[in-house]
Copies of this chain bind each other. A is one copy, B any other.
């Protein structure tokens, strides 16, 4: 019915039935087996299952916290080993105020606690860290779909906070096949005016859209977005999204 209404329609659907992901799992195969993907679909994968498949987890028993981590953890009743992992995953602390630790990860993402996640690790004495190179993770999943004859864009998403606004949203941390931006530079709108908007970060919008089905249905970790005409880019990466320090006013 909906498809009669306009050519512009986009659908977002959750991939149901994925089990607990373990190291070495082939995510592309599992997703393709569960969901009838078609050429042009965009698959948005929550980073935590990528981290699990890639063994991006740290056994806390193996972590010896630094004095800095120990002192600060004691002050705010945190696990010093988790704090140590957060510091190791960061290249710079952006803000450390009260119990809040905002870091810049080795990838260049600015987020709380370097994206380190203890609750989702599946065990209390284990911490999940972000994929080492989420663009490479996305490319691996995309190539798994390609091996099945499918041209699928892949976005790896995570849930980040942001300044000025409460509540978190899902954003992209890795991409494959799809250019992260949609540029309007030099274009005019239907009324002949030049666009004020220069570039939209569509992969962040796709990640946000995907969260709507993931969150609604018991945190399903994979969503399929169909009907969005993405800009193909075989060399796609998150690099165009990462603002250079020289252009940033809030570091």
Instruction: Give the B-binding residues of A (Cβ under 8 A).
Output: 2, 5-14, 16, 20, 35-36, 95, 97, 100, 102, 109-110, 117-120, 122, 159, 162-171, 180-182, 189-191, 193-202, 204-206, 208-209, 211-213, 215-220, 225-226, 228-229, 240-243, 247-251
Residues of B within 8 A of A247 (CB): 166
Contacts A10-B13, A167-B201, A206-B212 aside, 17 further interface pairs with beta carbons under 8 A come to A2-B11, A5-B13, A5-B36, A6-B217, A8-B213, A10-B12, A12-B12, A95-B249, A109-B164, A117-B196, A163-B163, A168-B197, A168-B198, A169-B201, A204-B208, A205-B209, A208-B208
A166-B242, A219-B189 given; A8·B2 CB < 8 A: no
A209-B212, A241-B167 given; A10·B8 CB < 8 A: no
A2 CB to closest chain B CB, in angstroms? 5
Cα A163 to Cα B166 in complex, Å, equals 15
A-B contact pairs, 7 of them (CB 8 A): A9-B13, A12-B12, A95-B249, A118-B196, A162-B163, A166-B240, A169-B205
Residues of B within 8 A of A248 (CB): 163-164
Residues of B within 8 A of A11 (CB): 2, 9-12
A6 near B10: Cβ-Cβ < 8 Å: no
